[in-house]
Chain A
């Protein structure tokens, strides 16, 4: 370190400084990633960061607003509008890997067989919780790995946010593409759980609401789609990771 001790304000703890540095935006990529992870598990630290964010936020008022082009809203709408009840798959668009359930199972198996898969708890997911008050919360485990067995995502239930948080285990550079998370239940067509961010250090949360009804045995998969997600409502790009949900 090049900083002499007397350069550090004496009344600040290391956590104070880290929280301040993060809120200011001065940390590098790896440091930010470490803070992101910590924010999900350390409420006291999170409070420190939020306090600095609140302190600094009025600075933004001096930044001139800029009206975004209408295309941005259209893009947002494409990702957030409810999917049509019956997606109309174009046979040509589905000609790839996606027709083959056997391949899905094969991929999932390959992933399961690999040794070093990041396995994280997903749960408790309140599966129809109001209807089943006595039922214990169901714990689901997911392993999302590529066909070569390399873990791509770790998933963890964050009680603070009440959501499953996906954190990239490795870096993928898919510039101009959007990874999309899917669930395949039985013989039904893949259902989108939305576009996720696995290129950056940001964790991506999927709310419990979206996970409602997920059952053990369902397969989770990630495909690489055009920016903003699959245009057809079904996967169109290469599958980069799959994994099966199992109850524990």
Chain B
């Protein structure tokens, strides 16, 4: 099993040592973060072998770019998860095509809304953003989830749903703005 989840400062320190070429720190960082990143990548790509390839690419990138990590700009988790998501989505876009399931079907296959118990463990930020997401109109929230977790494009999703792409964009953008306002403590 991997090491216990770590705080941002601890991960940032490991990244700093990684930037200096410290392989044991890099290994430690990998042990603490790879299961999370693999989960993220696998969720987008689904195909396991491809997800493993991308995970490998992501950590090679982290090794090479560790010196560029700036704790003032992003948390280590956000920084690494963003690299993982971007790599996975780029790989997804490079595919010729991907069989797409309708939103409802996707909801059956994948756990869209974490249980309250799960969120207790994941921290306050996660609980708040999932609460904000759950407060949106269900189809709008489903569209946001489909983009974020599966890497769907607006175009593909609009086609899947049989709605104009402008309508879908409007759902997603308004929804995200409302979530952001709620997270900032205001009302939407």
Contacts and interface: CB of A to CB of B under 8 A. Distances in A.
Given A2-B166, A62-B122, A200 B65 contact: no
A90 interface: no
Interface residues of B, number: 80
B126 A62 contact: yes
A56 interface: yes
Contacts of B35: 65-68
B64 A62 contact: no
B155 A76 contact: no
A58 B123 contact: yes
Interface in B85-131: 85-87, 89-91, 93-94, 111, 113-114, 118-119, 122-123, 125-126, 128-130
A49 B126 CA distance: 19
B9 interface: no
Given A200-B94, A206-B64, A62 B119 contact: yes
Interface in A39-80: 50, 53-69, 71-73, 75-76, 79-80
Given A162-B68, A199-B94, A58 B128 contact: yes
Contacts of B94: 29, 199-200
A188 to B, nearest CB: 22
A194 interface: yes
A205 interface: yes
A59 B123 CA distance: 11
Interface string B30-53: 100011101110111000000011
Contacts of A195: 60
A79 B60 contact: yes
Interface in B149-188: 149, 151-155, 157, 164-167, 169-170, 172-174, 176-177, 179-180, 183
Given A3-B166, A58-B123, A66-B38, A9 B118 contact: no
B67 A207 contact: yes
Contacts of B38: 65-68, 72
Interface string A1-29: 11110011101100001001100111111
B68 A64 contact: no
A56 B52 contact: no
Given A73-B30, A81-B23, A65 B36 contact: yes
Contact of A80 (B55, B60, B75, B176): B60
A66 B42 contact: yes
A57 B157 CA distance: 21
A53 to B, nearest CB: 5
B119 A28 contact: no
Interface string B62-76: 011101100001110
A32 B151 CA distance: 12
A58 B129 contact: yes
Interface in A189-247: 194-195, 197, 199-202, 205-207, 209-210, 227-228
Given A68-B52, A81-B23, A28 B68 contact: no
A147 interface: no
Given A63-B40, A228-B56, 6 more contacts: A7-B166, A25-B85, A57-B81, A62-B119, A81-B23, A207-B64
Across the A-B interface, give the 9 residue pairs with the lowest CB-CB distance, nearest first: A3-B166, A61-B126, A65-B35, A7-B170, A61-B122, A58-B125, A62-B114, A29-B93, A57-B78
Interface of A: 1-4, 7-9, 11-12, 17, 20-21, 24-29, 32, 50, 53-69, 71-73, 75-76, 79-82, 161-163, 194-195, 197, 199-202, 205-207, 209-210, 227-228
23 contacts: A2-B164, A2-B165, A7-B169, A21-B173, A24-B172, A26-B147, A53-B82, A57-B82, A59-B130, A60-B85, A61-B114, A61-B119, A67-B34, A67-B35, A72-B38, A72-B56, A80-B23, A80-B26, A162-B67, A194-B60, A202-B87, A202-B90, A207-B68
